[in-house]
């Protein structure tokens, strides 16, 4: 049986590893906000809105990534400017955005002259097909997103935690909330084309949930979330290599297994699960 | 004579089409200890939120000499999500945010001040606990500590005694008394008796501000609540003495 180290001599395996690690680091940090603010649906909705932008750009003969980024940024800014007093929840907006984005994308693809590529590959990218150019691209985006989050970190955390109190203190709530949504949008849109929407949603949610069960403070959660993401990515790729499994699903199922184990362990010791955002506190 | 620190003039506000505050006038002076009382739905919390700038009034204005970000606010129900991964100390530290620019980080001084406040509010034992792990009374003190961390020029408390234990009540009383040496304190409450020794003025609000002075009498209360109520009623917001007509 060939060892995993031998596999590293292949460029596509090295690329997959690098892309996986970058995606895990980015998702570990951004995903923590996604999970605690319950924005998983938003992330999914933005990625489908991005599809609309891709369709338009393809029709116009521009790089589809441009359209994806532009459209999801517009969507994020739009959602950020929605007044939280008049709107109880974002989910209806996101649902509409999702459907309209897909419809726009499909219509423009249909109208585009000549050979129409299967744009679905943009949505369901494959980590084993990552190119060197892709890696540079996501590395640049990762640095930008993490840099901006780092710069405004305390403010964004305060707004995410307690918008009302932040407002009383004179913090620019709308600006910071829009900034957070924008960074989530950028993360999702750029990563989906590289590793696929399913893996992005998985990396945004599974590692932070595992981390939330293990740590009580934001720093601990973010660091461990990154480590869990990197761990399941490496482990998943190895599983994929040894057992000839599809790589994305292998990573996701490994993550799910880890989640189940940690959850069960915490349940047995009688703590933690109630701290998770998706469970209602008694 | 000192000029009022904060003046509410003709403040009118409602939710949807329903009028909640109708031309409310109120002055808050530098050393005031003001209790805001009134029936449920009478607009107590709404008035505080309007003063804090959380609600935009339909008409009227709040003229304030207090710099933005220096109003301390202790909400009735914690407005935050307790599943957020933060320790008690981190939450209190957020009270310093109003004093800093958007890009500044918490400093040594911020952290030292927070330590002192935690000690004063007897929260050092739970400083490293997750916010979801503390008791109701402790959470109330956490909220007060967070408001104090900003070194506010005025403090608003919404129902601070609603769900707290004896220890927290005692700590609260001491803190408020001490604070009132320097800054005005405004307390929204059902239960005037729990803080009555300190209260200097009472504002009764039921859409309109009915009374506004140092003493409270039965006539005023009847006017506010619309029926006779008992003044001293522990924890009971609105005890009717006589039969309604």
The model's pLDDT over A195-216, given as tens digits with 9 standing for 90+, comes to 887 888 899 999 999 999 998 8
Contact between B80 and A162 using a beta-carbon 8 Å cutoff: yes
Give the pLDDT of residue A209: 94
CATH number of B1-66+153-245: 3.40.50.300
Give the pLDDT of residue A236: 93
State the pLDDT confidence band at A268, using cuts at 50, 70 and 90: confident
Q: 3-state secondary structure string, chain B?
A: CCCCCEEEEEEEEEECCEEEEEEEEEEECCCCEEEEECCCCCCHHHHHHHHCCCCCCCEEEEEECCCCCCEEEECCCCCCCCCCCCEHHHHHHHHHHHHCCCCCCCCHHHHHHHHHHHHHCCCHHHCCCECCCCCHHHHHHHHHHHHHHCCCCEEEEECCCCCCCHHHHHHHHHHHHHHCCCCCEEEECCCHHHCCCCCCEEEEEECEEEEEECCCCHHHHHHHHCCCECCCCCCCCCCECCCCC
pLDDT tens track for A47-66: 788 888 888 888 888 888 88
Residues of B in contact with A276 (CB under 8 A): 83
pLDDT tens track for B82-108: 788 999 999 999 988 876 666 777 888
Residues of B in contact with A171 (CB under 8 A): 69, 97-98, 102
The packing angle between helices B136-149 and B108-120, to 10°, is: 140
CA separation for the pair A42, A96 (Å, rounded): 11
Q: Between A162, A171, A279, which is nearest B79 by CB?
A: A162
Q: Residue B227 pLDDT more than 50?
A: no
- Which ipTM score applies to this complex? 0.82
Sign of the alpha-carbon torsion through A165, A170, A174, A175:
negative
The mean pLDDT value for B122-144 works out to: 89
Q: Do the beta carbons of residue A16 and residue A127 sit within 8 Å?
A: yes
CA separation for the pair A37, A27 (Å, rounded): 14
Contact map slice: A 165-224 vs B, CB within 8 A: 165-172, 176, 212, 215-218, 220-221
Asked if B69 has any chain A CB less than 8 Å from its own CB, the reply is: yes
What region, left, alpha or beta, does residue A37 occupy, with left being phi > 0 and alpha being psi -120 to 50 degrees?
alpha
Task: Rounding to the nearest 10 degrees, give the CA dihedral for residues B56, B57, B59, B63.
Answer: -90
Residues of A in contact with B106 (CB under 8 A): 154
Q: Where are the domains of chain B?
A: 1-66+153-245, 79-143
Contact map slice: A 38-97 vs B, CB within 8 A: 85
Nearest CA in chain A to B153: A169
Contact between B85 and A161 using a beta-carbon 8 Å cutoff: no
Residues of A in contact with B105 (CB under 8 A): 154
CA B99 to chain centre: 20
The mean pLDDT value for A108-130 works out to: 74
Residues of A in contact with B102 (CB under 8 A): 152, 155, 171-172, 176
Give A140 to chain B, closest Cα distance, Å.
22
Give A274 to chain B, closest Cα distance, Å.
8
Average pLDDT, chain B: 81
Percent of chain A with pLDDT strictly greater than 90: 35
What structural domains does chain A harbor?
A: 22-275 (1.10.3470.10)
State the pLDDT confidence band at A84, using cuts at 50, 70 and 90: low
Q: Residue B231 pLDDT more than 80?
A: no
CA separation for the pair B71, B95 (Å, rounded): 11
Q: Between A160, A171, A275, which is nearest B97 by CB?
A: A171
**CB–CB contacts below 8 A, A to B:** 98
* pTM metric for this prediction: 0.84
CA separation for the pair A27, A202 (Å, rounded): 9
Residues of A in contact with B129 (CB under 8 A): 216
Give the pLDDT of residue B241: 41
Tokens 């409310």 locate to: B24
Give the pLDDT of residue B207: 85
Give B165 to chain A, closest Cα distance, Å.
19
């Amino acid at each position: 049986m060939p060892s995993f180290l031998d596999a590293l001599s292949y460029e596509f395996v090295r690329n997959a590893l690098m892309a996986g690690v970058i995606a895990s680091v980015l998702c570990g940090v951004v995903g923590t906000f996604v999970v605690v603010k319950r924005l998983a649906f938003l992330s999914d909705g933005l990625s489908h809105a991005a599809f609309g932008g891709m369709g338009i750009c393809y029709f116009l003969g521009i790089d589809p990534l441009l359209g994806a980024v532009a459209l999801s940024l517009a969507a994020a800014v739009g959602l950020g400017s929605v007044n939280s007093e008049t709107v109880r929840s974002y989910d209806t907006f996101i649902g509409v955005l999702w459907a309209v984005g897909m419809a726009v994308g499909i219509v423009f693809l249909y109208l585009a002259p000549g050979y129409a590529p299967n744009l679905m590959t943009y949505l369901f990218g494959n980590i084993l097909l990552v190119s060197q150019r892709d890696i540079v691209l996501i590395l640049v985006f990762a640095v930008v997103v993490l840099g901006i989050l780092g710069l405004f970190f305390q403010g964004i955390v305060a707004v995410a935690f307690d918008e009302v109190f932040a407002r009383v203190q004179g913090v620019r709530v709308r600006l910071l909330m829009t900034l957070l949504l924008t960074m989530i949008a950028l993360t999702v849109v750029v990563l989906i084309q590289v590793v696929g929407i399913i893996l992005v949603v998985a990396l945004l949610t599974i590692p932070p949930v595992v981390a939330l069960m293990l740590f009580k403070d934001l720093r601990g959660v973010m660091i461990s979330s990154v480590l869990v993401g990197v761990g399941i990515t490496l482990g998943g790729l190895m599983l994929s290599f040894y057992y000839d499994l599809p790589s994305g699903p292998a990573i996701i199922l490994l993550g799910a297994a880890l989640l189940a184990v940690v959850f069960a362990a915490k349940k047995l010791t009688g703590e933690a699960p109630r701290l998770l955002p998706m469970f209602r506190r008694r | 004579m000192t000029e009022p620190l904060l003046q509410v003039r003709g403040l009118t506000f409602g939710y949807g089409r329903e009028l909640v505050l109708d031309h409310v006038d109120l002055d808050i002076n530098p050393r005031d200890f003001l209790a805001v009382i009134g029936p449920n739905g009478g607009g107590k919390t709404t008035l505080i939120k309007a003063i804090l700038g959380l609600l935009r009034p339909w008409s009227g204005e709040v003229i304030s000499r207090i710099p933005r970000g220096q109003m301390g606010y202790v909400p009735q129900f914690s407005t935050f999500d307790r599943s957020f991964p933060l320790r008690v100390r981190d939450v209190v530290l957020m009270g310093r945010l109003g004093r800093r620019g958007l890009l500044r980080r918490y400093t040594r001084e911020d952290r030292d001040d927070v330590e002192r406040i935690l000690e004063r509010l007897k929260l050092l034992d739970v400083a490293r606990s997750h916010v979801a792990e503390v008791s109701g009374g402790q959470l109330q003190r956490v909220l007060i500590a967070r408001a104090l961390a900003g070194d506010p020029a005025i403090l608003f408390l919404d129902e601070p005694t609603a769900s707290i234990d004896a220890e927290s009540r005692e700590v609260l009383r001491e803190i408020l008394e001490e604070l009132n040496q320097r800054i005005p304190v405004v307390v929204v409450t059902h239960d005037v008796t729990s803080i009555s020794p300190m209260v200097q003025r009472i504002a009764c609000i039921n859409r309109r501000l009915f009374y506004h002075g140092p003493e409270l009498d039965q006539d005023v209360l009847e006017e506010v609540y619309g029926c006779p109520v008992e003044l001293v009623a522990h924890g009971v917001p609105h005890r009717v003495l006589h039969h309604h007509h």
